[in-house]
């Protein structure tokens, strides 16, 4: 019987365990075919490495299989591996301002509009100057106003500004001055009067949502502006043409065109009958 001594390097390199070795070394031969099968002798090293075992995925990454009890269908739930990390929570910003009640007055209805008008830009620049952040001739007035008026300084503010500020038209186009600028220099036009009164009243505790700069026309179709203050469910008119503070229902000489309060604006139309 022939004896074959073979030690191919490629074969030995691929053998890892005894079962693998036996399978690779066996030769099939049926009885009666070319005599008995040859005997293959392989040199096996003293130490046989263990069969490599495929590394299993970590337990938390393994998919879990389920068998439906009635149909026997097997399904596997996906693992969390590869899923994107959840985005961190973002703190919500401050809530948007709430539009105050419409300043309908002088037999006209206030209709809300956007902020694209040129007058809205002038309004934003003038109203954002903080009167309290700087000192000026208004300091003593603010210190005494609430004590003198018993907490309702509307009439006193109207008179104090009318007496302190001299009316003067703008030169070189309509300009809206901030309250500190008007009260410091001592002159301004009708919008400047109204803005100064608004800043003083806000410093004395009147809510900005209860005050409106109102642009209008008088009976001679002359442009004018007043400050409207909401108090006790009615609008009071502070006008540089008079020291009297009157309810809007008693003012007959004006037709409003635009109104402003905070970041909001209105236009005016006739009430439907």
Average confidence (pLDDT) over 31-35: 48
User: 25 or 41: which carries more pLDDT confidence?
Assistant: 41
Query: What is the pLDDT, as a whole number, of residue 149?
Result: 67
| Calpha distance 245→242 (Å, rounded) | 8
User: b/e string for 78-112 if b means 16 or more Cβ within 10 A?
Assistant: eeeeeeeeeeeeeeeeeeeeeebebbbbbebebee
Q: How confident is the model at residue 156 (pLDDT cuts 50, 70, 90)?
A: very high
pLDDT above 90: residue 253? yes
Pick the CATH number of 108-270 from 3.40.30.10, 3.10.620.30, 3.30.930.10, 3.30.1490.20: 3.10.620.30
Residues 6+ apart with CB under 8 A from 83: none
d(CA 232, CA 151): 14
Which pLDDT tens digit goes with each residue over 8-25? 444 444 444 444 444 444
| Whole-number pLDDT of residue 173 | 77
CA-wise closest residue to 136 among 78, 196, 82, 55: 196
Domain ranges in the chain? 1-52, 108-270
7, two tokens: 């030690």
pLDDT score of 32:
44
Mean pLDDT of the chain: 79
* CA atoms within 13 Å, Cβ hemisphere of 37: 10
Model pLDDT, residue 24: 42
The pLDDT tens digits of the residues spanning 80-128 come to 666 777 778 788 888 888 888 999 999 999 999 876 556 678 888 888 8
Six-digit token string for 272: 């439907």
Residue 126, number of CB atoms within 10 A of its CB: 23
Asked whether residue 49 carries a pLDDT value surpassing 80, the answer given is: no
Residue 110 pLDDT: 95
Tell me if 161 sits within 8 A of 200, measured CB to CB: yes
Q: What does the chain come to in residues?
A: 273
* Angstrom distance (rounded) from CA 52 to CA 43: 21
At residue 112's C-alpha, the angle toward residues 109 and 113, to 5°, is: 130
Q: Which two tokens stand for residue 145?
A: 């106003």
Q: Predicted confidence band at 235 (pLDDT cuts at 50, 70, 90)?
A: very high
The rounded Cα 273 to chain-centroid distance in angstroms is 41
Place of tokens 């703190």: 91
Residue 246 has pLDDT above 90, yes or no: yes
Say what the pTM is. 0.66
Quickly tell me which residue has 């905070």 as its tokens. Answer: 262
């Amino acid at each position: 019987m022939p004896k074959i001594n073979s030690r191919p390097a490629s074969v030995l390199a691929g053998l890892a365990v005894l079962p693998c070795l036996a399978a690779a070394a066996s030769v099939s031969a049926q009885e009666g075919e070319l005599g008995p099968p040859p005997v293959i002798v392989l040199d096996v090293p003293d130490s046989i490495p263990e069969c490599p075992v495929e590394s299993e995925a970590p337990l938390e990454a393994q998919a879990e299989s389920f068998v439906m009890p009635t149909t026997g269908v097997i399904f596997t739930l996906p693992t969390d591996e590869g899923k994107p990390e959840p985005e961190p929570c973002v703190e919500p910003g401050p809530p948007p301002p709430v539009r105050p009640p419409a300043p309908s007055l002088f037999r006209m209805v206030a209709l809300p509009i956007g902020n694209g008008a040129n007058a809205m830009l002038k309004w934003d620049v003038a109203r954002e100057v903080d009167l309290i952040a700087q000192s000026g001739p208004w300091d003593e007035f603010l210190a005494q106003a609430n004590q003198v008026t018993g907490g309702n300084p509307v009439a006193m503010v109207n008179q104090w500004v009318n007496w302190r500020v001299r009316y003067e038209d703008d030169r070189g186009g309509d300009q809206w001055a901030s309250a500190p600028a008007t009260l410091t220099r001592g002159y301004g036009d009708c919008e400047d009067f109204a803005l100064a009164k608004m800043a003083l009243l806000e410093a004395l505790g009147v809510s900005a949502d209860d005050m409106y700069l109102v642009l209008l026309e008088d009976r001679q179709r002359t442009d004018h502006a007043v400050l409207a203050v909401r108090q006790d469910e009615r609008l009071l008119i502070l006008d540089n043409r008079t020291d009297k503070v009157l309810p809007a229902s008693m003012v007959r000489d004006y037709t409003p065109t635009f109104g402003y309060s905070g970041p909001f604006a209105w236009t005016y139309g006739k009430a439907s009958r």
